[in-house]
A and B are shown apart, each in its own frame.
Chain A
């Protein structure tokens, strides 16, 4: 198998892409309505506190839905497993100054993506829990209510920064963005940004030509990895 310049690798399954899309919309709605509820000068632009609160509450309740549904996708579970594991190379990558040079061979996700995924999930869990306390506030003592509000405020500010950073990184790499939109990436991009993963995909394909991980031409669909 000799990959041509047009060859591409399947990166994200349809299920993963939909989960990402839906979660992105929900988190976006939460951050925007949350900003209206939180920042006095933004809130003044829209007012209508009860309507904004309702949108925020509904979106909050829906956040677990794409995450739980995604667990039914084998591709999602496999990627979650990759994001979970930090190899010695990941620590090296985080510490190094030339992490973009390609000297450290990055797998499907670099250590920054792993950190982002873990911190985002942790923040979502905390925001969901403290959001429930604020939703059913009459069940909790003043101290717990105040504590939940305090944590919700600061963690959502932190998540907002994380999400902004995530969007910023994606805007700086149209190919990575297209990977999440279409599901596949050019082999050349993968060999530059995620060489260990590209190697792994090619090796797997060499061993098992009929497997789902077969590199395909850029025109073919990636539905085989669903």
Chain B
């Protein structure tokens, strides 16, 4: 039997393992911050090749992070949904989903880069090129910009007419070969592929041709209007090609 006091000594003696664990975890964390860019790419590619479903559950494994600026997701009825094209156009439009499906369809596979740093490689989209939308409606002279609205009632976005005429600006209706999911902006969203993802407005219901650029939701909150990946917002990401 232990002498009185010896038990105390037993517990207060011993290596300070707790402190080592705390410092070790902190050091690992710091190393992870420094190496995180490569680590996260590594984790993403391992997950993508072994358990692709995981990334949709755990965004840290390389998937999309879902941002919405309102409560929950906005609802829509596929039967009554309309995409309106208005403003300085020859033929204003109010298209149903069936109408959109009859416009020339384009597919493209592009990286999806968020301004907060995450990137999802090679996302296949399809839909109607923005310039095909514009040629269907006819752009009036004097129009220099596009203003986009979302039926979430809050979010807005913008592009110059010149940017909108590029061949990587898509009014998207499918993602990974399936109709876009609600969380990704169903039924119609913009994919402004060469720009940071906040330009790619979700739940889009309106395109208006205007004389000047009207800064969008995040742009009045300090983000760059011309949001080229790698050349704006103080970031140096590789451009999306």
Query: Closest CB-CB distance, B43 to chain A, in whole Å?
Result: 8
Answer whether residue A50 sits at the interface, using C-beta atoms and an 8 A cutoff: yes
Answer whether residue A22 sits at the interface, using C-beta atoms and an 8 A cutoff: no
**Assuming A46-B71, A49-B67, A150-B40, is B33 touching A84 (CB within 8 A)?**
no
Chain A residue at minimum C-beta to C-beta distance from B20: A118
B15 lies within 8 A of A203 (CB):
no
> Per-residue 0/1 for A122-140: is the Cβ within 8 Å of any B Cβ (1 yes, 0 no)?
1101100110010001100
Query: Closest CB-CB distance, A106 to chain B, in whole Å?
Result: 10
User: Can you offer 5 A-B residue contacts whose CB atoms are under 8 A?
Assistant: A43-B66, A48-B71, A142-B37, A146-B117, A204-B4
Query: Closest CB-CB distance, B153 to chain A, in whole Å?
Result: 12
A84 lies within 8 A of B117 (CB):
no
Told that A43-B68, A125-B22, A145-B117 touch, could you supply 11 new A-B pairs with CB distance under 8 A?
Answer: A38-B59, A47-B71, A48-B71, A85-B16, A85-B17, A86-B17, A126-B29, A147-B37, A149-B118, A196-B7, A203-B7
Q: Which of the four size classes fits the interface of chain B?
A: 35 or more
Answer whether residue B21 sits at the interface, using C-beta atoms and an 8 A cutoff: yes
- Tell me the bound Cα distance from A197 to B73 in angstroms: 55
B71 lies within 8 A of A81 (CB):
no
B183 lies within 8 A of A87 (CB):
no
Candidates B13, B24, B29, B117; contact of A85 at CB < 8 Å: B13
Query: Closest CB-CB distance, B237 to chain A, in whole Å?
Result: 7
B4 lies within 8 A of A203 (CB):
yes
Candidates A87, A130, A206; contact of B4 at CB < 8 Å: A206
Query: Closest CB-CB distance, B11 to chain A, in whole Å?
Result: 4
Query: Closest CB-CB distance, B35 to chain A, in whole Å?
Result: 7
Answer whether residue B50 sits at the interface, using C-beta atoms and an 8 A cutoff: no
B: residues with CB less than 8 A from A are 2, 4-5, 7-8, 10-19, 21-26, 28-30, 32-37, 39-40, 43, 56-60, 63-73, 116-118, 182-183, 234-237
Query: Closest CB-CB distance, B53 to chain A, in whole Å?
Result: 13
B24 lies within 8 A of A122 (CB):
yes
Answer whether residue A177 sits at the interface, using C-beta atoms and an 8 A cutoff: no
Mark out the residues of chain A between 138 and 171 whose CB falls within 8 Å of any chain B CB in the assembled complex.
138, 141-151, 153-155, 157
How many A-B pairs fall under 8 Å by CB?
181
Within 8 Å CB of A143, what residues of B?
36-37
Candidates A108, A126, A155; contact of B11 at CB < 8 Å: A108
A: residues with CB less than 8 A from B are 38-41, 43-50, 81-90, 107-108, 114-115, 117-119, 121-123, 125-126, 129-130, 133, 137-138, 141-151, 153-155, 157, 196-197, 199-200, 203-204, 206-207
Max chain A CB contacts within 10 Å: which of B10, B67, B236? B10
A130 lies within 8 A of B29 (CB):
yes
Chain B residue at minimum C-beta to C-beta distance from A121: B22
The majority secondary structure among interface residues of chain A is: helix
Within 8 Å CB of A86, what residues of B?
14-18
**Assuming A43-B68, A146-B117, A200-B8, is B18 touching A84 (CB within 8 A)?**
yes
**Assuming A44-B68, A204-B8, is B29 touching A151 (CB within 8 A)?**
yes
